Amino acid sequence: MGVDKHDQGHELPTPEPDSPSLPRSRQAYRFSTLCATVDNPNPNHKDQHGSSSVPIYQTATFKGVGGEYDYSRSGNPTRTHLEHHIAKISSANHAFAVSSGMAALDVITRILKPGNEVIAGDDLYGGTNRLLTYLRTHMGVVVHHVDTTNPSTIIPYLHPGKTAMVLLETPTNPLLKIVDIAGISSMVKEKCEDAVIVVDNTMMSPYLQRPLEHGADIVYDSATKYLSGHHDLMAGVITCNRDDLAKQMAFTVNAVGNALTPFDSFLLLRGTKTLAIRMDRQQSSAMLVAQLLQQLGFVTHYPGLPGHPGKEIHERIADGYGAVLSFETGDKELSERIVGATRLWGISVSFGAVNSLISMPCVMSHASIDPATRAARGLPEDLIRLCVGIEDPADLLDDLRLALLGAGAVTRSANDFVRIPNAVNRAVEKLALGEPLVHRQRTKENREWFVSAPGKVILFGEHAVVHGVTAVAASVDLRCYGLTSPRHDNKLSVQFTSINDYYHEWDLDALPWDAVAPVPPGDSHPETLDVELMKAISDRALPPASEMPPKTHAATVAFLYLYMTLTHGDERPSFNLTVRSTLPVGAGLGSSAAFSACIASALLLLHQRIEVPPIPAPTRQATESDPGHVHISHQGRRAIPPAIADEINRWAFVSEKVLHGTPSGIDNTVVVYGGALAYTKPGFGRKAGMDKIKGFKSFKFLLTDSKVPRDTKALVASVAKKKTEEPQFVKNMFDAIQSISDEARRALDDPELSREQLLSALSSLIEENHCYLASLGVSHDTLECIRSKCSEPPHKLSTKLTGAGGGGCTVTLVPDDFPATQLHALSAALRAENFDPYLTAVGGSGLGILSPYNSDSSTSREAGTFTGPITPPETPAGGDISLQTLREQFSSVGGDQLGQWADRCGRWLFV
C-alpha cells in the first residue's frame, strides 16, 4: 500500500515520564509501542509493588466507604487498566470492556427506543443479524438492511427524527466488502444529525483501522478475536468520544452487569501487547494465500488483491488488509470436501487467533441467517472463509494446496497445481456416478426422461419487476409435463399436445448446423441470443409462423435453439419430445416458463450435461392411495442438487429470452425452485437476486383465464414507453408497488400475525396493487369484468391481474372459510361469461424429474394400473417409438387426470 503507516507516529497519547523533572522531548509512540505499554497515568492506579504486569484484582467487593471501587460489577482496577489501554490504542476518550462482542452490541443498541429506525448492512455477522431481528420483532425498532458499500442506497431510508442508528462493518464478514465510513458518516449527519454511527471493527482491530478518526460515534470489537489473539477468552470492547453516549452505555453496563471479569481483563491486556506483531505476520501470510487462490482461478475476496471493489476506499481509511479472506468454488459439496481435507487449518467459527481456521459461513457462523435471506444478500452457499494465523506461510500454502487436490478442485501439472475446468459439473458427476466424466464413455441415451415444472403467479409487482422493483411470486399446483422418448432413426420430433396437438419432425442432418455456435459443456450461454441462429431456424427449419397454430412457432424455435446450442461433438440425440400442460397456455400463469424449464432439463439430460443422483430412501411406506410418490419439498432436503437446479434455471432463462425477448427472470426462477420468493432484477441499485419466503403459508386461489390473448412484449414495451414519457408518474407507481411488495413480505414472514389478519392484509394489498397496474395501462376490460364478478356481493373477494395483463389471467384470494357452495356459484357465473376458473393452491414444489433409479414395473404400466413405481424404460431394438407405452399413456390420459397420473408414475426428484 505504499508507505507503511505503522512506521509513522500516531497522534495518540504517549505516557508521561514518571519523574516530572525529566524533559518531555520524545516523539509520539508508534502503535506497536503503545500496544506493549500498559501504563495508566493515574497515580492512584500505580501498583504499590511495582509489578510489571497489571495485577488481577480477583475480588467481587472492596472495603471502605467513598472509595473509587466498591463492587466489581461497577468497577475493578484490572478492568480500568484494560479500558484505559483500549481507549489509548483506539483514539478514544472512553472505553468499556464487556463479556463478548455481542454483549457490546447489546449495550449499544439499548440506546434505541421503540419507533426508532436502524440502517444496517446486508452482509453482516450472523449474530448481529439475529439481534437486529429480535429488536425488530419484539422491541418495535424498524431495521432496514441495505448495501452499505453503495452509499446512495442509504439515502431513501434517512428519516430525520426517526433514523437513530447506522450500523456498519468494513470489511464485511464474510464477503470482505468495503464501506466508506467517512463518506457515510458525513452524509448521514447532514440529514439526520442525531443519528449515531456505529462500526463493528472486529475484522481490522484498532491496529489496522480506527473508525472514530473517520466520523464514527461508537466502535465495538469482539475482543475474542484479534485483540486477545489466542481464543482463550470471550470479550467485547466499546469505544467512543462523546460523553453523552459514554454516560448512557456506562449506565447499561453497570445495570445489566455484563462487564468483563478481572481475570479475563488480565488475559485481554496480555493479548493486546502482541497485537501488532501478530497481525503483521497474519496479514502478510493472508496476502500469499489470496494470491494463490486467485492464480488458481477461484473468485477470491480480499481487499489487498488488485481489482477488489472498494480497495481505494479501504486504503484511505485502513492501515492494512487484514488476515481474513474468502473464496468461492462454485459448488457447495466441493467446498465441503475442501474444508474437510485440510489438516493444518482448523475447522472452526470465529477468527483472529494465532492458529489458522477454515469454515463455511453458510453452515457455521452465518447459519442463523435463513437460506432465503442469505441468497437475497448474495452470500454464496459454497463460500469458504479462511482466517490466517501465525504459522509458517509455506506450511499453510502446502496444506491448502493438498486439500484442494484431495477434494478434486485442482490437479497437478508438470510444475504446479492447476484448477480443474468446470469443477462444478465434475463434482456433481462424481457424486452421481462415483467417477469422473473423463473416465466414462458416452453412451446413447435410451431412457424416457419425464420432467415437469409448475406454473406461477406473480402476486405482487408484475411489470415493475422489469424496472428493478421487487416482485413476489409463487408456484401453483398446475404443471407442465414433458416426456422424451428415444428414437434411433436420425430424426427429431415434437408434439405439443396442449397447443392444438401440434406435431413436427426434422431430419437431424437437415437442421441449419452451419448457423450454430455451440456452447461447450460447463460454459454459460452469452448474455445475448444468437440472432443468426434464430433466423436460420425460422427460415430453414420451420414453416412461416402464419402457417403454424398460434404459439407453436415460438415454442418450436425455443426448443430447436436450445437443442442445437447444447449439442457438442458428434452427439445429436434422436428423440421425440411430448409436452402437455394442466396450465392454461398463454394466460399469464407461467406456461412459457414451465415449458422452458421442462425443455431445458430434458435437453440437459439428453446431452448428458447433468446427471441425476439416486433418489434418497423414501421417508414413508407406499400405500394403496400413495404408491411410492415421495415429495421432496423445496423447503426440505433437495433431491436435485442445487448446482443442477441452477444449471437448469440458466438454460430455462435462455428459452424465456427466445420466447419473450427481455424477460425479468422471475418466471423461470420460481418454476424451477418452486415455493414462493421475492425476486429483484439486477442492475437497478437494489440488491439483486431471489429471496425465498420461508414463512409463506398455503393459500387457496381462484385463477381465472380470460381467454383473451395478450402480447407480453408489447405490454412491457408500453410501460417502458410511459416511463420515458412520464418518468415521475411511473416512478411514483413503481415506488408504491415496491412498498406493497415489502409489506407483503413482512406480513408473510411475521409469525405473530394471525391467519385472519394475514388474509385481510393480503386482500388489501391485492386490491391496491391492481389499481397501480391499471394506472400503468396494462389491465383490460375482461380482467375488470372478472374483478367485478368476484368482488360483488355476496362474494366480496379481492382480485388482481397477474403476469403481463392485457388479457390473460386474474388471481382471486379465497379465504379459508369461504363456503364451497358460494365458490361453486362464482365459478359457474364466470364460466357463463366464457371464462375458465381454476381453483388451486400456491407454493408447491418446483421442477421435477422422474427418478430413473427405481425397479421397473412394466407389467403394471402396460396394464394401466399403478401398484409400484415406473422406471423410464429402455427403447426396444430398432427404436420403434410406437412401443413406448409410457408415451402412449402420457398422450392419452385425460386432462383432468394428468396430474394424478403423473404423481403415480414413480419416484419424482424435486428441487
Q: What confidence tens digit (pLDDT) does each residue in 157-216 have? A: 999 999 999 999 999 988 999 999 999 999 999 999 999 999 999 999 999 999 999 999
Closest alpha carbon to 808 in 358, 395, 455, 364: 455
- Is residue 200 flagged as an active site residue? yes
Within a domain: 539 = no
Signed CA dihedral, 874, 879, 881, 885: sign only:
negative
The domain boundary, picked from 272, 292, 308, lies at 272
> Is 345 found in the same domain as 238?
no
Within a domain: 464 = no
The domain boundary, picked from 251, 272, 293, lies at 272
Within a domain: 811 = yes
Amino acid at 435: E
Q: Of 5, 30, 73, 273, which residue is the catalytic one?
A: 73
What is the helix, strand, coil percentage profile of the chain, to 5?
Answer: 40, 15, 45
The domain boundary, picked from 246, 272, 298, lies at 272
- Is residue 225 flagged as an active site residue? yes
Residue with cell 456506562: 250
- Please give the pLDDT value at position 445: 57
Closest alpha carbon to 31 in 7, 67, 62: 7
Is the confidence at residue 494, as pLDDT, over 90?
A: yes
Within a domain: 170 = yes
Structure-block grid coordinates of residue 582: 394442466
In whole angstroms, give the CA distance from residue 850 to residue 871. Answer: 8
Q: What is the CATH number of the domain that holds 334?
A: 3.90.1150.10
Give the confidence band of 893 by pLDDT, cuts at 50, 70, 90: confident
Closest alpha carbon to 53 in 272, 232, 239, 228: 272
> Is 296 found in the same domain as 255?
no
- Please give the pLDDT value at position 437: 34
Could you count the other beta carbons within 10 Å of the beta carbon of residue 323?
30
User: What are φ and ψ of residue 507, in 5° steps?
Assistant: -80, 125
In whole angstroms, give the CA distance from residue 129 to residue 113. Answer: 18
Predicted TM-score (pTM) of the model is 0.50
pLDDT tens per residue across span 569-588: 777 889 999 999 988 887 77
In whole angstroms, give the CA distance from residue 201 to residue 209. Answer: 7
> Is 398 found in the same domain as 280?
yes
Structure-block grid coordinates of residue 903: 404423481
Give the CA diameter of the chain: 109
> Is 255 found in the same domain as 214?
yes
Closest alpha carbon to 322 in 197, 185, 201, 181: 201
Is the confidence at residue 15, as pLDDT, over 70?
A: no
Question: What percent of the chain stands above pLDDT 90?
Answer: 55
> Is 194 found in the same domain as 330?
no
> Is 751 found in the same domain as 725?
yes
Within a domain: 17 = no
Is the confidence at residue 314, as pLDDT, over 90?
A: yes
Read off the pLDDT of each residue in 428-455 and give the average, rounded to a whole number: 56
- Is residue 73 flagged as an active site residue? yes
Within a domain: 615 = no
Number of domains the chain contains: 3
Q: Of 225, 479, 787, 789, which residue is the catalytic one?
A: 225
Structure-block grid coordinates of residue 387: 482466517
Q: Of 122, 123, 180, 200, which residue is the catalytic one?
A: 200
> Is 350 found in the same domain as 326?
yes
Q: Of 29, 57, 125, 321, which residue is the catalytic one?
A: 125
Q: What is the CATH number of the domain that holds 722?
A: 3.30.70.890
> Is 107 found in the same domain as 38?
yes
Whether 468 and 686 have beta carbons less than 8 Å apart is answered as: yes
Within a domain: 840 = yes
Structure-block grid coordinates of residue 905: 408414475
pLDDT tens per residue across span 620-669: 333 333 333 333 333 333 468 788 888 999 999 999 999 988 787 888 98
> Is 201 found in the same domain as 300?
no
Closest alpha carbon to 199 in 173, 175, 229: 173
Task: Report the mean per-residue pLDDT for the chain.
Answer: 84
User: What are φ and ψ of residue 878, in 5° steps?
Assistant: 95, -20
Q: What is the CATH number of the domain that holds 108?
A: 3.40.640.10
| Strand order across the 384-387 sheet | 299-301, 324-328, 384-387, 357-359, 346-347
Most confident of 180-194, 371-385, 398-412, 690-704: 180-194
What is the extent of the structural domain holding 709?
Answer: 700-846
